[in-house]
Each structure stands twice: as C-alpha cells, then as structure tokens.
C-alpha cells in the first residue's frame, strides 16, 4: 500500500510537466503495474494476473486522457451512471 501511495504521488507531480502523449504512456504503464501488483497481492493465477494488467493499463490510459482534457467523471449516486464535468 505504501508503494502505491508513493507511485501515485510521483505520477501526480510528474503529470504537470508531461506532454499529452507522455501522460497517456505513463497512465498505461502505471495502470498495468497497479493491476499486476493487485493481482499478485490477491494471489491470482497467471491468467488473471495478465487480465488485471490489461485492465489496469486501459484504466490508466483513460484516466490520463481525462486529466489531459481536464474532465473528471462523477457518480450520480444511482450506481449505474456518471456525468462528466471539469476537475476540481
């Protein structure tokens, strides 16, 4: 958990100085690493570890794209939908 916090803070600080492509690449790599680390922490089998890495990479890329456009997704509270607005 401590390592994840360090990585997240590093990405947040570095994100202010990166180009859009670099931010997307960093999101991809960070998301993939996070997915693999989570799968490893949960003792997942090798196939699920790969799936977690791919899912993490996709999520990381989407988060990077959202921050590049200064749009964040907010839950509506019904558990099924979100709306997009400027990030705080």
DSSP per-residue string spanning 31-46:
HHHHHHHHHHHTT--H
Q: pTM value?
A: 0.54
87 in helix, strand or coil? coil
Asked if pLDDT for residue 11 goes beyond 70, the answer is: no
Residue 66: the pLDDT is 67
Distance CA 30, CA 49 (A): 15
Confidence of residue 8 (pLDDT cuts 50, 70, 90): low
Residue 16 has pLDDT above 60, yes or no: no
Q: For 63-88, what is each residue's pLDDT tens digit? A: 776 666 777 777 777 767 777 777 66
Report pLDDT digits (tens) over 20-62: 677 777 777 888 888 888 888 888 888 888 888 888 888 887 7
Residues near 55 by beta carbon (within 8 Å), at least 6 away in sequence: 35
């Amino acid at each position: 958990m401590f390592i994840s916090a360090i990585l997240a803070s590093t990405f947040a600080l570095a994100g202010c100085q990166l180009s859009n492509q670099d931010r997307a690449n960093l999101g991809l790599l960070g998301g993939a690493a996070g997915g693999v680390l989570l799968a490893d922490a949960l003792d997942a089998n090798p196939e699920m570890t790969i799936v977690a890495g791919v899912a993490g990479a996709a999520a990381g890329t989407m988060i990077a794209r959202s921050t590049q456009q200064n749009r964040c997704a907010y839950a509506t509270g019904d558990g099924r939908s979100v709306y997009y607005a400027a990030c705080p």
